[in-house]
Structure 1
Amino acid sequence: MNKIKTWARNLKKYVYVLYFAYKDPRVPWYAKVFTACVVAYAFSPIDFIPDFIPVLGYLDDIIIVPLGIKLALKMIPNAVIKDCEEKAEELMVKGKPKNWLVGTLIIIFWGIILIWGSMAIFQYIK
């Protein structure tokens, strides 16, 4: 059980590392794009495979996110990773900051998608 907790903590740490690396000007643009996608997917409550589907639901959390993190880390220079690891450690000790504006924008975005999808389904049913 301790191995799983350590693995999950390291996974969380590296999501924060990627978050800080995305903002670093030393990271190439293609790595920033990929890193932003990995971080957004890791923090998003929406998954490709919903968690309520037995076994497959947690597959993305166990395989897709760690694989994305690993690929993103390979694209980022080692010096940047080292700097960002220090920032991530500090953030994990202090606790993550809350950005209510970004949270609100994400909720609005998914709300619009949900409404649009519902309207499309109702148009199709008619």
Structure 2
Amino acid sequence: SEHGITSDGFFELTDLPKKTVVVGAGYIAVEMAGILNTLGSDTSICIRFDQVLRNFDAMISKNLTESMESSGVKICRRTQVTSVKKELNGKLTLDTTTGAMNDVDCLLWAIGRIPNSDIGLEKV
């Protein structure tokens, strides 16, 4: 999305966003949500299923999900972003499968990347 950043963009932030939404449930999404929350950003994480790191050990996934919630991260379960709109005030409005999220300062996409497979392996 032209209105969001990736984990690389996190390192380019010059100010702490007041309100952040992280999309994804993998370790990068969990790490970024945890850091932003700990720094003081009002942080939500949108996940497609019920727990973060769902492909990891079940106990780790369950306990980490609970720990994130108890630390203040809002976990939006079974939620996917359907559209993003930049408002006149510069804030973002996210339409999701579970409702709208308004006044978002930072949208961080952590849902995977296309692999860089053009590294010349065929010549090795």
Larger proportion of helix: 1
Shared fold, TM over 0.5: no
With normalisation by structure 2, the TM-score equals 0.30
Larger proportion of strand: 2
With normalisation by structure 1, the TM-score equals 0.30
